[in-house]
A and B are shown apart, each in its own frame.
Chain A
């Protein structure tokens, strides 16, 4: 029983991390049809800067932990906005080239991060509570998973509120639904492109700082590993669907943890098998619209 609870809760926690990365990817794809390979680079840069800020303020305090998360979100948002303005916008409506540009950016960024922060992973520290565990029904859950769940819940709630209640959120939802119509109504849909990139970058930034605490180290390749799972999650959830991304994140991560525990560490492989199955049975994903 306790191992079941352990697997389930750590799975949900890991799913929360996937969701932080995948939510931005899914929104960006839904609105702009751009697969953003540079998302991993946003995440990695946020983690590095967040770590530097936390170090400057003293790693053990909760204050510096929160500040580093906020700084990570800001760095991710700024990096993403600049990417959209400088690289994506000039290639308006040329989707393949937009994808290629983000590929080039991630390629260059990872090399640059290695140049600045070195090729070896840097071990990090945080508030001591994060290293501990909390007992739930006899299962000792590492505390980082709670933080991940809380952060993802806040981001999900904020995104849903923003998309449902604000004017810009409405434009974005309408844009995902039918972009031609939104443009025909005289709304400059390009502004919302930048906005979506900024939001996605901020979510990835939060994810980056938390992923660093989750894995207790930061390296230039932190983003690349997570990005592939985020891609799988967005395809399984249905491209462009936030709810789909949320459900698929948890599904994928829980399955991964179960496979890692009961099938001798085959979690990564099982996830790809799940992806193949979903594609065979339902190519548009769980919550995707018919393309």
Chain B
């Protein structure tokens, strides 16, 4: 296939090839020193950057950016449309809570237990749901996430049911607890984001990632070449789930608690919106999408409470005071008119200037199964 994929490829020796890494490293450094600076971004952050309110919002942005990155690994690299990704995020969050509360271990072994638990769930559910592909896969993963959600809601004694679970602070080191230490939690979230980014980058660059990409493009051909697409996809699925669990662990520490919605289908759909908004198949797109969505959600909620909204007639007031309605409409518009998302649109503009052909990742995902189906239909 001569068409360039949406995933930016690094060609050694090309001028400017190291640029993304320089920018990335610079961004991480800027983010790391942000709590020490006094910068105000009115309209985006609730206060100057050193205040706990702003730092909490930024930490949440980074946690969701990490979750979006892990989902992008699944959808962008391996081409698997999962509706159950929140299950692993919730497994991380609840896993940490349960490990601290019932096994009474210190924080770091607790994180390890939560991570291993998330990975185990991912291996089992992934192995079963990958018996089918495409849309049926989406439905099956949704069902698993729903089962997880039901388990969490039902087992009141263990998970706190609808009330949610508080983080047992006794075992958590003091420097990670409370509003005073928001700064440390912020750095923790930044480290999680960097770790997830590096893991995702490593998978994308490894033979495993290439195999998963090839499977996305044409599974039959990969099989004919004597490779095992199932194993490659399963490993990518489990790695993505592990990253999601890590994000969930950071979320639990950050919010010092979690609710059953952290497992449910709604969160998966939220992550899907983030990734599509940012641009499927682009790591930086997933980060932009995660950050943008989180900030938009916060700002739109603030808008819904604004006084001038109350004075509007019902026809305008009701839609404007529902942040999720506005985000849903934005999502539909992006899918219909900007299918590459933010990153895809920027990328294709750059490529067009260089004179290359482009095609959005989502369209490639559509074409791949059609090509794979073709011989089957010819037989029928």
Please list the residues of chain A having a beta carbon within 8 angstroms of any beta carbon in chain B: 29, 33, 35, 87, 90-91, 93-97, 99-101, 103-112, 114-116, 178, 180, 224, 228, 231-232, 234-235, 239, 265, 268-269, 272, 275-276, 279-280, 283, 291
Contacts and interface: CB of A to CB of B under 8 A. Distances in A.
A111 B332 contact: no
A107 B336 contact: no
B298 interface: no
A77 B269 CA distance: 25
Contacts of A110: 324
Contacts, number: 127
A228 B140 CA distance: 10
Interface stretch (B108-116, B142-150, B229-237, B288-296): B142-150
A22 B265 CA distance: 19
A280 B128 CA distance: 7
B130 to A, nearest CB: 9
Interface string B255-278: 000000000010001001100100
B347 to A, nearest CB: 18
A104 B329 contact: yes
Interface pairs A-B: 10 shortest CB-CB: A108-B328, A111-B324, A107-B328, A111-B325, A272-B147, A104-B332, A104-B331, A115-B318, A111-B322, A115-B322
Nearest to A110: B324
Given A33-B135, A268-B150, A279-B131, A108 B325 contact: yes
B336 A91 contact: yes
Interface of B: 81, 128-129, 131-132, 135-136, 138-140, 142-144, 146-147, 150-151, 154, 265, 269, 272-273, 276, 318-319, 321-325, 327-329, 331-332, 335-336, 339, 362-363, 365-366, 369, 376-377, 380
Nearest to A264: B154
A265 B332 contact: no
B367 to A, nearest CB: 9
Contacts of B321: 115
Q: Say what secondary structure dominates the interface of chain B.
A: helix
Contacts of A116: 318
A268 B147 contact: yes
Given A107-B328, A108-B331, A283-B131, 13 more contacts: A35-B139, A96-B362, A105-B328, A107-B273, A108-B329, A111-B328, A180-B377, A228-B143, A268-B147, A272-B146, A279-B131, A279-B140, A291-B376
Contacts of A239: 135-136
B88 to A, nearest CB: 16
Given A87-B336, A104-B332, A235 B147 contact: no
Among A100, A112, A272, max chain B CB count under 10 A is at: A100
B332 A105 contact: yes
Contacts of B142: 228, 231
12 contacts: A95-B135, A97-B336, A100-B276, A103-B331, A104-B335, A107-B273, A108-B325, A111-B328, A114-B322, A115-B322, A239-B136, A276-B128
Given A96-B81, A279-B128, A35 B135 contact: yes
B363 A94 contact: yes
Given A96-B81, A101-B335, A279-B128, A115 B135 contact: no
Contacts of B339: 97
A106 B265 CA distance: 12
Contacts of B273: 104, 107
Contacts of B365: 96
A103 B269 contact: yes
A180 B377 CA distance: 9
Contacts of B144: 272
Given A99-B81, A108-B324, A108-B328, A93 B366 contact: yes
A280 B336 contact: no
B309 to A, nearest CB: 12
A96 B150 contact: no
Contacts of A93: 366
Nearest to A235: B139
A224 B261 CA distance: 14
Given A35-B138, A108-B328, A269 B81 contact: no
Contact of A107 (B128, B269, B369): B269
Nearest to A107: B328
A123 B35 CA distance: 50
Contacts of B380: 178
A16 to B, nearest CB: 21
B328 A272 contact: no
B372 to A, nearest CB: 10
B143 A231 contact: yes
Nearest to B374: A180
A99 B135 contact: yes
B139 A108 contact: no
B195 to A, nearest CB: 29
Contacts of A115: 318-319, 321-322, 325
Contacts of A97: 335-336, 339, 362-363, 366
B363 to A, nearest CB: 6
A114 B129 CA distance: 33
Contacts of A90: 336
A168 B273 CA distance: 37
Nearest to A232: B143
Contacts of A235: 132, 136, 139-140, 143
B331 A107 contact: yes
B301 to A, nearest CB: 12
A265 B128 CA distance: 24
Nearest to B328: A108
Nearest to B133: A291
A235 B318 CA distance: 37
Contacts of A91: 335-336
Nearest to B153: A268
A83 B230 CA distance: 36
Contacts of A101: 332, 335-336
A201 to B, nearest CB: 18
B280 to A, nearest CB: 9
